[in-house]
Amino acid sequence: MRDIRGGGIGMIFQEPATSLNPVLTVGRQIVEALELHSALRGAAARERAEELLDQVGIPDPRRRLDEFPFQLSGGLRQRVMIAIALAGSPRLLIADEPTTALDVTIQAQVLDLLDDLRHRQDMALLLITHDLGVVARMADRIGVMYAGQLVEEAPREQFFAQPAHPYSVRLFAALPDAERRGGRLATIPGSVPAAEVRHVGCRFADRCGEVMAECRTSPPPWREIESGQRVRCILPGAAPAVPQKSAPATRRLRTIPGRCSRSATCRCISRSAAASCSAPSARCARWTACRCN
């Protein structure tokens, strides 16, 4: 297992201050990883550790080898974490919120470094983040997780152009937007279920504005929406519209071609509102739930 951990797969944790050993020098911690995952020992391992610090952009790497983590800034500590992860020459690098503890300038530098390293070392990068800005900048392919389960997968461009799962759509709706300045921010009602909850149907059902009886009886299967985009939801290929209480952000709403003539601006989110819909369209497959008016 040790060959895989650190060797086949490297890991960068989100808070280097608590992940690095505070009583060992930076050099000792990198050399430990090198000795576990390569044949290098002694002076050769130390020389390689210096190279790794240089590779991740740490100035004066020879001197830094003998420093302790508390002597380094947050950005330098994160670079040391990356150097340790690279010591095993992993084929896959998992970066769990690698820039959360950093200010925006250092965040940009660390993201540039990761992007550069993955190309130079021909290494896959699995980036875990809550920051859609980081996702937009770094990802080729995106997986959205809810309550410990993947609920949507898509290429980056497709995901940002047209998120499909109700959870993804509501994440976008919750983003602050200049067009909605002065309005209330959209939220997702309810909260994430506790880890020990056993789910029978869809894990998002308690918070989903589109929920139907069948959502609660069995786990929704994967559905192919477009080539390369799939979603774990029983809605027939159409994302729900964005829930809004403030000004409409029509650029994020989904058009349903050939269905409702007003689908480009449709905000239907609730079956309970169907009875009050003033203009249900027979062409919209979901008109019984429509409240666009």
Q: Which stretch binds ligand SF4 (CB under 6 A): 63-71, 106-114, 202-210, 251-259?
A: 202-210
User: Quick check: 268 binds ligand SF4 (CB under 6 A)?
Assistant: no
Q: Which of 87, 92, 77, 84 is nearest to 14 (CA)?
A: 77
Is the Cβ of residue 133 or residue 237 nearer to ligand SF4 in the bound state? 237
Is the Cβ of residue 33 or residue 238 nearer to ligand SF4 in the bound state? 238
User: Quick check: 152 binds ligand SF4 (CB under 6 A)?
Assistant: no
Nearest-approach distance from CB 279 to ligand SF4, in angstroms: 23
CB proximity list for 186: less than 8 A, separation 6 or greater = 170, 173, 174, 242, 243, 244, 245, 246
Nearest-approach distance from CB 206 to ligand SF4, in angstroms: 8
Nearest-approach distance from CB 49 to ligand SF4, in angstroms: 48
3-class secondary-structure state, position 125: strand
Nearest-approach distance from CB 146 to ligand SF4, in angstroms: 9
CB 40 within 8 A of CB 48: yes
User: Residue 255 is encoded by which pair of tokens?
Assistant: 């058009």
User: Quick check: 204 binds ligand SF4 (CB under 6 A)?
Assistant: yes
User: Quick check: 144 binds ligand SF4 (CB under 6 A)?
Assistant: no
First to last CA, the chain: 59
Degrees to nearest 5, angle at CA 290 with 284 and 293: 105
Instruction: Kindly write out the interface string for residues 163-192 of this chain, putting x where it contacts ligand SF4 by CB under 6 A and - elsewhere.
Output: ---x--------------------------
CB 232 within 8 A of CB 221: yes
DSSP state of 250: G
User: Quick check: 205 binds ligand SF4 (CB under 6 A)?
Assistant: yes
Restricting to residues 213-232, name those near ligand SF4 by CB under 6 A: 215, 220
Is the Cβ of residue 141 or residue 216 nearer to ligand SF4 in the bound state? 216
Mark 106-128 as b/e (b = at least 16 C-beta within 10 Å). Answer: bbebbbebbeebbeeeebebebe
CB 237 within 8 A of CB 261: no
User: Quick check: 234 binds ligand SF4 (CB under 6 A)?
Assistant: yes
Alpha-carbon span 94 to 118, nearest angstrom:
11
Nearest-approach distance from CB 133 to ligand SF4, in angstroms: 25
Q: Which stretch binds ligand SF4 (CB under 6 A): 56-64, 68-76, 197-205, 265-273?
A: 197-205
3-class secondary-structure state, position 171: helix
Q: Which residues bind ligand SF4 (CB under 6 A)?
A: 166, 202, 204-205, 208, 210-212, 215, 220, 233-235
